[in-house]
Structures are given as structure tokens and as C-alpha cells.
Amino acid sequence: MDTIGVDIGGTKIAAGVVDEDGNLLAHTRRDTDPQDPAAIENAVVAAVSELRAQWDVGAVGVAAAGFISPRRDGVVFAPNIAWRDYPLRERLALGIDLPIVIENDANAAGWAEFRFGVAREARSMVMLTVGTGLGGAIVLDDMLLRGSFGAAGEIGHMRMVPNGHYCGCGHEGCWEMYASGRALTRAARNAIITDASRGQRLLELAAADGGKVKGPHVTAAAAEGDPLARELVIQLGHWVGAGIADLVAVLDPQIVVIGGGVAESGDLLLEPAREEFRAQLSARGFRPEAQLEIARLGNEAGIVGAADLARH
């Protein structure tokens, strides 16, 4: 049975038809306004209708950022969209006469990697989505961990540093503030304050982009070989690895997958993450070690995972 996956982002939605092997058969997009829930729903309905015009599908999976209700029918809280205890499934059901499930976007992407990507041979996995923020998905014994209130996997808010960087969540020292695109942005700007001469390439890329230095400028400059940018990505990799050591101590998964936009740095990120993970892993040498790998499915992982979760 083919199914549709929908990935609701801050400013656009992406939807696609996915087969049972995780292949994306068709694809469409809509721009949306995060302030307008009704418009988002209309866009989802329209995208699903467009795809169904040509494909026979059995269910729809919808991925969105935020806490999802345990029954997977609504959004308890979303960081970027004006949803609070929002009955998203019921609203979408007004325009879609198929079974619908709602899922957290990092969970959907993680599930795709687990079923069809780099973790497809594992039975337990942790996936980090290192994008603007830091999200997580946890699969244990082939089951996606949702938590008793739908809030499991909020790994970005583990405290890495007491009295550390302030996070948008109001706390200090959250892992996300050391291991995310936002962290890369902040670290780059501060490195330039302390020594502007090292930031020439970053400043050029930012200027060409019409503004201040941001995370993607750092990953781009690192890919070119810029010394400061490489150093910043390596430092981020160390923080990624340090937190993974904590997760592995708790969860003992077979594999840890690193995805999200920052993961496009590939080995430059992966190697320091592995190094720090090994250095920090408790009882190393007395236990097999979880593998660390970069995700394979890229931006489509959310659609693919949501579609597959709708099937089960």
C-alpha cells in the first residue's frame, strides 16, 4: 500500500507519495504562513488532493515540529506555529477522507532512517537532527519512543553545561546551544569578535547573502577549507559526540545517526563526534560500541518517515 507523507515546516509544506520500500514516487510543495493555521490546513489538503489525483494511497502521515499528543491526533505545543492543544487530525479530516496520523518531525525523519536509511539493519537507534535546532528520535526494539506524554526525544534540551549558554527555552546550557546551526552561528560571530582577521571568508559569504554570518555560511566555508570554519565545525562535532556519549550510557542503542542540515558537513563533523564519543563513553572496552553514522535520506526523510508511520 502506498501512502502519503506530509512535512509541515515553518514556511512551506512538502508532501509525497511513498511506497512500502520507502521510495518517493511523487512530490509536491506549498508555501505557507506559520501564523495562519487555517491556511496551513488548506495547503495540506490541497497537496494531498493533488497527489491523490494520480496515485492510489491508503493513509496520510503528517510530520510537524512540536509535542504531539500520545494518540497521535493533535499537537500539544508547537514552537513555530500557533498551535496549542490543537486537534490537527480532526481539522485535516474535514478535507481528507483517509486515515491520518500526526507525528513529530524529528521522529518521522528518524523513523525513515531506521526503516530505509543508514540504520535499516538495526533494531535500536538514536537519531540526532542537527538543523537550526537539535531534535532527536529514539527507536528501541523496533518501536519509536513517543513518551508517556508525547514528549520523548527532546534531546536538545539535555543540559550539557551548568550555567552555560542561554537557550530559547529559558534554561542554561542546553545541548542545542552547543550542537546546532544556531550554535554554529553564535560561535562564528563570537569568534569574529575576538579575531576578525580569521573571519574574512565568513564575512564575505554573509555579505554575498545580504546579512550576518549564519550556520550555513560556516558549513559552506568549512567545505571550502576555510580554517576558522573548519575549526568551528570540528568543535561542534565534539559537542555532538559528548552528548551522544550520554545518550548511549542511558539507551545503549546499536547505532546513532546524525542528520539535519549541519550533517551535510559529513566526515568533518563525524570524525570529531566519533572521537569525543569514544573518549567520553563510559566503560569503553567492556562493551560493544554503538556505531555513529551520517544520515542518508536527506531532506525527504520527514515525508518518507511520516508516510511509513501512517501505514502502521
Under the rule (CB under 8 A), what is the footprint of its own copies?
67, 76-77, 84, 122-124, 136, 138, 140-141, 143, 145-155, 157-166, 168-172, 174, 178, 186, 190-196, 242, 245-247, 249-254, 279-280, 282-288, 290
Distance set, CA 98 to CA 22, 41, 54, 257 (Å): 20, 15, 16, 32
Closest CB to its own copies among 15 and 114?
A: 114
Calpha distance 11→3 (Å, rounded): 24
In 3D, which of 1, 82, 6 has the Cα closest to residue 307?
6
**Exposure of 130 by Cβ count < 10 A (0-12 exposed, 13-18 middle, 19+ buried)?**
buried
Least distance to its own copies, CB of residue 102, Å? 16
Closest CB to its own copies among 18 and 155?
A: 155
Closest CB to its own copies among 39 and 151?
A: 151
Least distance to its own copies, CB of residue 290, Å? 8
Least distance to its own copies, CB of residue 207, Å? 20
Calpha distance 275→76 (Å, rounded): 38
In 3D, which of 141, 79, 137, 145 has the Cα closest to residue 112?
137
Least distance to its own copies, CB of residue 159, Å? 6
Least distance to its own copies, CB of residue 150, Å? 7
Strand partners, 257: 127, 293
Least distance to its own copies, CB of residue 184, Å? 13
Closest CB to its own copies among 31 and 195?
A: 195
Closest CB to its own copies among 53 and 193?
A: 193
Closest CB to its own copies among 14 and 86?
A: 86
Calpha distance 103→69 (Å, rounded): 9
Closest CB to its own copies among 5 and 135?
A: 135
Q: Are 134 and 128 in contact (CB under 8 A)?
A: yes
Q: How many residues in total does the chain contain?
A: 312
- Rounded to 10°, the helix 301-311/105-116 angle is 80
Separation of CA 208 from chain center = 27
**Cell numbers 523496533 label which residue?**
142
Closest CB to its own copies among 3 and 69?
A: 69
**Cell numbers 567545505 label which residue?**
223
Closest CB to its own copies among 174 and 309?
A: 174
Least distance to its own copies, CB of residue 293, Å? 15
Least distance to its own copies, CB of residue 146, Å? 8
Q: Are 159 and 174 in contact (CB under 8 A)?
A: yes
Residue type, 285: G
Least distance to its own copies, CB of residue 208, Å? 23
Q: Which residues contact 177 (CB under 8 A, 6 or more apart)?
A: 160, 164, 165, 166, 167, 183, 186
Calpha distance 101→231 (Å, rounded): 42
